[in-house]
Amino acid sequence: MTLHFPVWLRRSARPFLLLAALAAIAPEARAEGSKNLTPGTGTRGTATGANNFVGYLQHNDGDVASATSNSRYFLKEGAPADQRLYVRMNGGETLYFGVRRIRSNDAAAVNNGRLRLQVKYLDGNNAEQVASTHYLEPQTTSTEGAVNLAPSQPGYIATPEEAAAGPRYLAGNTSPAAGYNPFVYAPVASAPARDYWVEFMEVDAAGSAVGVAQNKSWYDLWDFTVRDATSEKPGRLYSQHWSFTAAGGTNALSSSFVLYPLIPNLNFNNQSFFVKRVSYAGIQPFGVILVANSQGTNVAGNFKDKRKSQNSNAGYPEYKLFVNNPDPVIYPTSPRPNNPTVTTSCSGGVTTFTLRVDQAGFGVVFIDGDRNNLYDRTQDRVLEKPTVIGDNTFVWDGKTDAGTTMNQTNLSVTFSSGVGPVNFPIWDCEQAPDTGISVQDVRPGNDGAADYIFWNDSLLGPSFSNPYINPIGGNTTATSHRWASNAGNEKLVNSYAVGLLARGNAIQIVYDPVSACATTPPVVLQPLPVQLVAFTARAQRNGVALQWRTASETHSAYFEVERSVDGRQFAPVGRVAAQGTSTTLQQYAFIDVTPPAGPLYYRLHQLDVDGTGQHSSVEVVTGSPAEGFTLYPNPATATLHVQLRNALTGPVTLRILDATGRVVWQEQRTLPASQRVLDVSVTNLPTGRSYLLQVQTATGSVVQRFVK
């Protein structure tokens, strides 16, 4: 049983020292664009393995009418509504933006021309309006990957470090000093909330695109940041139709390359949403189109036919794909469905499974004939169909998917129920041999939990992927959707999931092949086996008080409280019995009555009755260290700056620990003179996670939490 901890909980930071406000040390500047997908700083280019910089925005990769185009109308003037790059803004907010264009692999693109960026919107009469127009002047280059925009002009991002720092939005575009000098567009305060879009066109000296060749263009740095008078507004940048390039058929997309699909819930008139995090990290496309939709493809047939991978680009844009978690104020989180239930009946050689749900969606019954948790159509049966509110029946005739009678007397049955279908068609990704497509839950409630992804590559051949049909799903790196070298060239590879999946444990049953009758006890499906919604550790007079709450549990045996003095080696200090199985809020408490002096680290180890379990995030209780510090930017991207309250001289040890307390990076430094700011590279850390930074000297140790 897996113990899941929401990211909001893993990221919760409790102040360990009374420190000056972060804004007093450095302005907030996070940016939204390439910094999220390809945050690497320093030298950039191409890479065939793990990296943090490959994956460039592109347009004009093939004729818009070509069936094999890898960009179609994306970013172009006159693009249909579902192929534009959008930024959502309210009246009174400001858009800061900039790009860096590099020479593509096309010979004709050696000297890309003058670049025009236009911000547009639809007025109250649905007429297209130009909000602002901006130009970037070109420069000549003969090297693929070299910058072909002139330096030192507004809207030009000179370096990855500038992209990481974000736009200079203060004091006449002078601060933050590490940022870039942006283009600026600010609708009037009375303007309605609306979607603006940005078009990229090569133009002549007069600013006209008429008769000007539109060459393939790559952008390794790009940023579209929305701010109001006080703060940045992340989760505003999206497209329904993205086009990217890895600048080579074997180059791998960055390990940070994730997008956030906004999945409407039909049960609430599409006015509330599920959000997932889909990872394309490590796939190897030369040029690729990424979309998300409800059906998969536009081919004829039922839902099973439509979601199959295809030999042509039959995918279509529908759902919005964001660079960050969509702004929840604008895109509210969908209410969670109640836990579905399953009952089983048998009559006349037919077994009927009845799934009861309170939100319409999708249901799956996996009958595992050989009980190996793998799908084999000659041994197993998968029953699936869309569901309606109330009772939904799945009828089994005792046969496998191959149509043969199932003769096994011991079976394994797994029930699943999902709400909010989502497909991820990928056009023309040559290969994904090492890390394939995977998804995580973001909203509601399951933030960060690895979720199940499914596929059917039968039309591409049995050697395309392994397995080439996966109707039962996988939620690990090893079971991600992958395919072999050059197998995906000019293919549409589709993966599918649901906005929120409730899945029960596999039930082992005795089956009578003679009567073709299977019976199971009533089953309650839950999105999370054990859902921890709070965990705190606080020092008090009689020790350290730990408290935690769970929203639901299934077969949970006990919680073991573990303590560490260095954040690395943990040992149990107590045990608290769990509720077992529960769908209501449960509260737990424990007091560590003999805590040693100094900073202490606590975590929970939840164990199921079968002995499986998982650790929680780490909570820190500090003693009285001599030094304190603040971290910025937080969330971090490439470099984490450590602002010390007191200057340090001499030896210091820096450590980064993950949410389980494991040391993922450590460095000893000898500071030659009094220093107030230390820089720590976090480039190689996985994104979307919570970490602890520990600063240790001869006089003490202090810890702060940060997110990347």
**Confidence band (pLDDT; 50, 70, 90) for 26?**
very low
350 assigned to some structural domain:
no
**Confidence band (pLDDT; 50, 70, 90) for 44?**
confident
Residue 133 confidence (pLDDT): 98
Q: Given the structure tokens 């049955």, which residue do they identify?
A: 413
Cβ-Cβ contacts under 8 Å for 313 (sequence gap 6 or more): 67, 68, 289, 427, 428, 492
Q: Give the residue from 195, 196, 213 showing the smallest Cα distance to 204.
A: 213
536 assigned to some structural domain:
yes
Q: Give burial (CB, 10 Å; 0-12/13-18/19+) of 252.
A: buried
Residue 540 confidence (pLDDT): 74
9 assigned to some structural domain:
no
| Claim to verify: residue 611 and residue 653 sit in the same structural domain | no
Chosen domain end from 582, 597, 621? 621
Return the HEC string of 378-445: CCCEEEEEEECCEEEEEEECCECCCCCECCCCEEEEEEEEEEEEEECCEECCCEEEEEEEEEEEEECC
**Confidence band (pLDDT; 50, 70, 90) for 229?**
confident
- In this prediction, residues 643-654 reach a mean pLDDT of 80
Cβ neighbours, 10 Å, residue 708:
20
Residue 239 confidence (pLDDT): 98
| Claim to verify: residue 587 and residue 660 sit in the same structural domain | no
| Claim to verify: residue 539 and residue 607 sit in the same structural domain | yes
59 assigned to some structural domain:
no
| Claim to verify: residue 647 and residue 617 sit in the same structural domain | no
Chosen domain end from 566, 600, 621? 621
Tens digit of each residue's pLDDT (9 = 90 or more) over 338-396: 889 999 998 888 999 999 999 999 999 999 999 888 899 999 999 999 999 999 999 99
Give me the percent of the chain exceeding a pLDDT of 70: 89
Residue 130 confidence (pLDDT): 98
**Greatest mean pLDDT among 259-273, 629-643, 647-661:** 259-273
Residue 364 confidence (pLDDT): 96
| Claim to verify: residue 608 and residue 543 sit in the same structural domain | yes
| Claim to verify: residue 609 and residue 548 sit in the same structural domain | yes
Which range has the worst mean pLDDT, 239-248, 277-286, 425-434, 615-624? 615-624
- Number of structural domains found in the chain: 2
176 preceded by a cis bond (ω within 30 of 0)? yes
State both tokens at 681. Answer: 């590279």
Residue 4 confidence (pLDDT): 37
- In this prediction, residues 151-175 reach a mean pLDDT of 92
| For residue 533, pLDDT beyond 70 | no
| For residue 21, pLDDT beyond 50 | no
* Amino acid type, 628: G
User: Are 558 and 574 within 8 A, CB to CB?
Assistant: no
CA distances 189 to 167, 228, 374, 591, 650, Å, are 21, 10, 57, 53, 53
Q: Is 460 helix (H, G, I), strand (E, B) or coil?
A: helix
Q: Measured in Å, how far apart are the chain's first and last C-alpha atoms?
A: 27
Between 88 and 691, residue with greater pLDDT = 88
Q: Give the residue from 363, 362, 370, 365 showing the smallest Cα distance to 397.
A: 365
| Claim to verify: residue 560 and residue 617 sit in the same structural domain | yes
CATH of the domain at 579: 2.60.40.10
**Confidence band (pLDDT; 50, 70, 90) for 5?**
very low
| For residue 309, pLDDT beyond 50 | yes
Chosen domain end from 586, 604, 621? 621
> 3-state SS of the chain: helix, strand, coil percent to 5?
5, 45, 50
Q: What are phi and psi of 390, to 5 degrees?
A: 110, -145
| For residue 502, pLDDT beyond 60 | yes
636 assigned to some structural domain:
yes
| Claim to verify: residue 659 and residue 676 sit in the same structural domain | yes
| Claim to verify: residue 667 and residue 685 sit in the same structural domain | yes
Which range has the worst mean pLDDT, 17-21, 372-376, 525-529, 554-558? 17-21
Q: How far apart are CA 285 and CA 490, in angstroms?
A: 10
Residue 660 confidence (pLDDT): 64
| Claim to verify: residue 652 and residue 614 sit in the same structural domain | no
Radius of gyration from C-alpha coordinates of the chain: 27
**Confidence band (pLDDT; 50, 70, 90) for 273?**
very high
Structural domain boundaries, residue 684: 629-707
**Confidence band (pLDDT; 50, 70, 90) for 13?**
very low
The average confidence (pLDDT) of the chain is: 86
Counted residue by residue, the chain has a size of 708
| For residue 66, pLDDT beyond 50 | yes
| For residue 63, pLDDT beyond 80 | yes
Give me the percent of the chain exceeding a pLDDT of 90: 54
Q: Give burial (CB, 10 Å; 0-12/13-18/19+) of 653.
A: middle
Q: How far apart are CA 463 and CA 484, in angstroms?
A: 9
Residue 1 confidence (pLDDT): 34
Which range has the worst mean pLDDT, 109-113, 159-163, 233-237? 109-113
Which range has the worst mean pLDDT, 321-325, 588-592, 691-695? 691-695
User: Are 119 and 185 within 8 A, CB to CB?
Assistant: yes
Residue 405 confidence (pLDDT): 93
The pTM score is 0.74
658 assigned to some structural domain:
yes
| For residue 663, pLDDT beyond 90 | no
CATH of the domain at 648: 2.60.40.3080
b/e map 632-648, b = 16+ CB within 10 Å: bbbbbbbbbbbbbeeeb
* Range list of H helices, 476-554: none
Residue 475 confidence (pLDDT): 84
Between 657 and 53, residue with greater pLDDT = 53
Ramachandran sector of residue 301 (left: φ over 0; alpha: ψ -120 to 50; beta: rest) = left
Which range has the worst mean pLDDT, 397-406, 572-581, 610-619? 610-619
641 assigned to some structural domain:
yes
**Greatest mean pLDDT among 242-251, 501-510, 662-671:** 242-251
Tens digit of each residue's pLDDT (9 = 90 or more) over 537-553: 887 777 888 988 876 67
| Claim to verify: residue 653 and residue 611 sit in the same structural domain | no
| For residue 483, pLDDT beyond 90 | yes
- In this prediction, residues 291-309 reach a mean pLDDT of 97
Residue 3 confidence (pLDDT): 39
| For residue 17, pLDDT beyond 60 | no
| For residue 504, pLDDT beyond 90 | no
Q: Is 572 helix (H, G, I), strand (E, B) or coil?
A: strand
Between 171 and 426, residue with greater pLDDT = 426
User: Are 68 and 126 within 8 A, CB to CB?
Assistant: no
Tens digit of each residue's pLDDT (9 = 90 or more) over 210-224: 999 999 999 999 999
Q: Give the residue from 478, 477, 476, 472 showing the smallest Cα distance to 496.
A: 472
* Amino acid type, 579: Q
643 assigned to some structural domain:
yes
**Confidence band (pLDDT; 50, 70, 90) for 638?**
confident
Residue 24 confidence (pLDDT): 28
Tens digit of each residue's pLDDT (9 = 90 or more) over 577-608: 988 877 667 889 899 988 887 778 888 888 87
| Claim to verify: residue 615 and residue 653 sit in the same structural domain | no
Between 128 and 477, residue with greater pLDDT = 128
